[in-house]
Structure 1
Amino acid sequence: MPTHSERIIRLISGYLAGSLDEAERAELERWMAASELNRRAVEDFQSDDALRAADLSAIRDRIWERLDAHIPEARTRTFPVWRWVAAAAVVAAIVGVFMLRKTGPAPAAPVAKITTDVAPGGNAAILTLAGGRRITLDSAANGRLTQHVVKVSDGAIVYDAAADTQTNTLTTPVRGQYHLTLSDGTKVWLNASSSITFPAAFRHDRRTVAVTGEVYFDVAPDATRPFTVRAGDETVRVLGTAFNVNAYADEASVNTTLVDGRVQTAGGTLKPGEQSRTYADGHTDRRRVNVGAVTAWRYGNFQFDSDDLPTVMRQLARWYGVTVTYTGAVPGGTYSGEVGRNTHLSNVLKILELSGLRCKVEGNTVTVLP
């Protein structure tokens, strides 16, 4: 069965050749209407005679040739290195990127050496029960795991409302992610290298959990039982809301980003779209952020928003389970763009290389060259 990307490429090929039937044309039009980027991609293909072929592999190969050959010529501080990624959004599952932009000096031709490839992460976690029993969830069958815990699908477990109050911990490894529904109906998503410690059932007067790493919450409203999240030195108090907590030990601060509702943090009461940052020395600040970029991991993407290279690489390291090292000074500039988390590491690095990044991959080590 063709993948979604292959299906879209075939529809575009048929559209260019004038061979689509009414149902296929309607399918393509729905895809184009779903995104301005999709629409622009088809328009770019229409204007390029070299890509007017009905053969799927020929289109894919031609796209990759253009990606590999494209070296930006702009000399300004900000330039698009991914004009062709935008045009090739239809191969997102292959290329993995819709757009990437880097600010900084104009890049030199990339020099990369990739001797091995690294597959993306996936659904993986360990549930530790109060008595110390550990359940490896990615290998457990769907169905009831304990008296009060049910694995409802690959990557998701649900606690019954009648569960006891003993403490449990859900932990994701490097390259892992998982979804949890707590006994009160609160939905929780864990990113790679993260954990949440929680009572199997909450007390009648409060709901308190502790997290590490990065966790997204969609809290079930309950005015009589405020919901509290402890993350390092930060304590987040909510009534019913959606928010993201990033508390990785290798980040400079614990970041709480409000998606919807209202939360109280050490940095004050947040409004939707605001982020509170709490630093190790205790000081805090608050700022407006791109919520879509902060929470993109929850929806299966990396999204960078003027992030420096170390920030980008820390995210890739957690998801692909690699170690990132730098030879010489860390390259400057910032990166903005979006890439699907379901693509292999080599595809992500191809994209970064078009901005002038020089790197090599050996085993599970990515070395960034000067």
Structure 2
Amino acid sequence: MNDYLSQVSALIIKHLESSPLTAQEQQELDAWLEASPQNKALFSRLTDPAYVREALQRMHSYNAEAGWQKIQYAYTNPTAVAPMQRSPQWKYWVAAATILVAIAGAALLYLYFPGKTTPIAATNVPQPAKDIPAPAVSKATITLQNGKRISVDSLSIGTNALQEKTAIQKTADGQIAYTGDEASNTEMHFNTLTNPRGSKVIQLTLNDGTKIWLNTESEIRYPVAFTSTSREVEMKGEAYFEVAKDAAKPFVVKSNGTAIQVTGTHFNVNAYMDEVSLNVSLLEGGVKVSKGSNTVTLMPGEQAQVNDNIKINAQADMEQVMAWKNGSFSFKGEDIYTTMRQLSRWYNVDIHFKEAVFEKFYGDISRDKNISSVLKMLETTGSVHFKTAGNMIEVYK
């Protein structure tokens, strides 16, 4: 990390510890915050207990055991953080956020730096002998009401299980569908569909006929049958919805403190925790997006960008939004960090930045290609290079 970014990290950590900043330090932190909306969004997330907790859970799941042990130590040893007249829970998340900044450092801060733009050459690139292929099978799992976990790939075609009076079926093309008479279900049972990194996109049809496409590293929790006056689901990651119309039962998607309400429409939700904002993109129909006291109504072609507030992008590129569902990566000015996060999820690889790379990309690349072909295309810009070692991709100039 260069000296400037090291200083910014130190200032954020000092702020989280409630240590007083000098006038010059406060001026430096304010200047960084005002430099871009992305900086403000990052700072807001690092001071949000819910985001810190979720991010640390993600880091822990990626074998960050040492970091987690440090957090536990900070929680059980008050001297690990600056004394504060606040609850133990407050001490916990401040310590957690402090360690998160220290661990994530360069990756979190470099993420938001602007750079030059260079188009990707749309050429066919030969693949090297050692390679990481695109996902060929579904690694998704269904967790039933009783906690039993079922691998979707292991299910046979046809009816596989009953929840209440609803059947779980697998179609010939690998889709999962819930079928049955909603009125015959007397209790609310929930299932969870989890699609991990390195897994194909999976399609789910709910009992009401709503269709959902779940991207990699995503999860959705839903009732087996909608027995109440509303239809509510919870999700993480990214999903595309084609909601069955039912004016009497609004359909509500909840994610990261945001609620999206519709009666029947098509929309995409990108709620990955490591992205700058939660984005709701409307293709047809209408949706209401709410967070706290803020509520907006979208028209087709608009996108709600949710942070502390909700901003509407009236000229969202829906082809780019839907590229993942349609089998491609679509880059239209994305920086290297946004680009590599997409590759990391799809190919289940870890990314290590050897140094700051100021590069943006333009172009479309099939998600069916092996990762070497994608990296070679990115390298045609001439400003970024990659080295693959097992499941680790190193990025350097």
| 2:146 maps to which of 116, 120, 131 | 131
Aligned equivalents of 2:274, 2:305: Cα separation in 1: 14
Q: How does 1:267-278 map to 2 (within 5 A)?
A: 268-278=296-306
| CA deviation profile, 1:174-223 (whole Å, cap 9, x unmatched) | 01121100000000000001011000001252100000000100001111
Tell me the amino acid that sits aligned with residue 167 of structure 1. F
1:162 aligned partner: 181
With CA pairs under 8 Å and 6+ residues apart, which has the higher RCO, 1 or 2? Answer: 1
Question: For 2:346, what is the secondary structure of its paired residue?
Answer: helix
Aligned equivalents of 2:271, 2:369: Cα separation in 1: 25
Unaligned runs of 5+ in 1: 1-76, 89-93, 97-113
| 1:285 maps to which of 286, 311, 314 | 311
Output the aligned Cα RMSD.
Answer: 1.9
**Are 2:157 and 1:142 equivalent residues in the alignment?**
yes
- Identity value in percent: 38
Q: How does 1:78-93 map to 2 (within 5 A)?
A: 80-82=119-121, 85=123
Tell me the amino acid that sits aligned with residue 369 of structure 2. T
| CA deviation profile, 1:225-250 (whole Å, cap 9, x unmatched) | 11000011110001111101111111
| CA deviation profile, 1:51-95 (whole Å, cap 9, x unmatched) | xxxxxxxxxxxxxxxxxxxxxxxxxx765452x63xx6xxxxx87
**Are 2:141 and 1:116 equivalent residues in the alignment?**
no
Q: How does 1:230-241 map to 2 (within 5 A)?
A: 230-241=254-265
Runs of 4+ in 1 over 6 A off after TM superposition: none
Retained in 1: the 8 A contact 2:119–2:361? no
1:255 aligned partner: 279
Aligned equivalents of 1:321, 1:296: Cα separation in 2: 19
| 1:194 maps to which of 218, 224, 232 | 218
Tell me the amino acid that sits aligned with residue 285 of structure 1. K
Aligned equivalents of 1:169, 1:251: Cα separation in 2: 23
Q: 1:154 to 1:302 in 2, by over 3 A?
A: same
Tell me the amino acid that sits aligned with residue 272 of structure 1. P
Q: 1:168 to 1:78 in 2, by over 3 A?
A: closer
1:334 aligned partner: 360
Tell me the amino acid that sits aligned with residue 363 of structure 2. G
Retained in 1: the 8 A contact 2:202–2:215? yes
Aligned equivalents of 1:241, 1:256: Cα separation in 2: 12
Residues matched between the structures, number:
266
Retained in 1: the 8 A contact 2:329–2:365? yes
- The structure with the largest helix share of the pair is 2
C-alpha displacement of 1:255: 0.9
Tell me the amino acid that sits aligned with residue 335 of structure 1. F
Aligned equivalents of 1:155, 1:343: Cα separation in 2: 21
Tell me the amino acid that sits aligned with residue 170 of structure 2. K
**Are 2:375 and 1:369 equivalent residues in the alignment?**
no
**Are 2:363 and 1:345 equivalent residues in the alignment?**
no
C-alpha displacement of 1:146: 0.6
Unaligned runs of 5+ in 2: 1-115
